[in-house]
Amino acid sequence: MTWEFFHEIGRKMIHLTILIVLVLFFAIKNQAGQQAALLFLVGLLLIFLVLEYFRLELNFKLPFFHQFIRPKEQYRVYGVVFFLTSTIIVFAVFDTAIALAALLMTTFGDMAAAIAGKKYGTTVLFRNKTVIGFMAELVVNLIVAVAISLFFAINIYIPIIMAFAATITETLVDELDDNLIVPLVSGFIGQILIFLI
């Protein structure tokens, strides 16, 4: 149990690299525009697709990263590919505040759910998702919602509804990759609410 817990923490720390990607995206966007920033993300995605080609097609074990791949991802595309894909989509389609909220909820909410669920979760809510994991994710997503609302001065109800959508979606999906589904669902709902409110 202890090794599994620390293994999960290691996996989630890799997810924090999205913050570096976001900083680079906004730096490029400020200097060269939205299209250049999106091209940067597509280039990054292509690099990971090449790495996945070596891993999945040629059975080459990638140093360091191989130890963080879950058994269910061993013969499937790694989550970072889906996360980069969703990052490209949300920045191309949604307002910046909505896209950022969706991505930060996916990153930090998922991290909170996994770590709290592995460490303290005993009561299963749905499949392998625990009540503690669900509650931890919801709290973190609500914190992200408040921060986004204050920073971008948008209606607080929009990111709060997104927080609930992200948490519920994360809880319901297991076989589908949450790195793709969660930001798209929460971002889509947030963008629709922007139009309606």
| Predicted pLDDT at 3 | 47
pLDDT above 80: residue 77? yes
Structure tokens at 118: 């592995």
Structure tokens at 6: 């620390």
Structure tokens at 49: 């697709």
**Does residue 14 or residue 25 have the better pLDDT?**
25
CA neighbor of 109 nearest in space, from 164, 149, 189: 164
Q: Give Cα separations from 66 to 18, 19, 107 (angstroms).
A: 19, 22, 20
Among 62-76, 78-92, 130-144, where is mean pLDDT lowest?
Answer: 62-76
162-184: pLDDT as tens digits: 999 999 999 999 889 999 999 99
Structure tokens at 144: 């992200």
Write the burial class of residue 80 (CB in 10 Å: 0-12 exposed, 13-18 middle, 19+ buried): buried
Please check whether residue 145 is in contact with residue 159, taking contact to mean a CB–CB distance below 8 angstroms: yes
pLDDT above 60: residue 138? yes
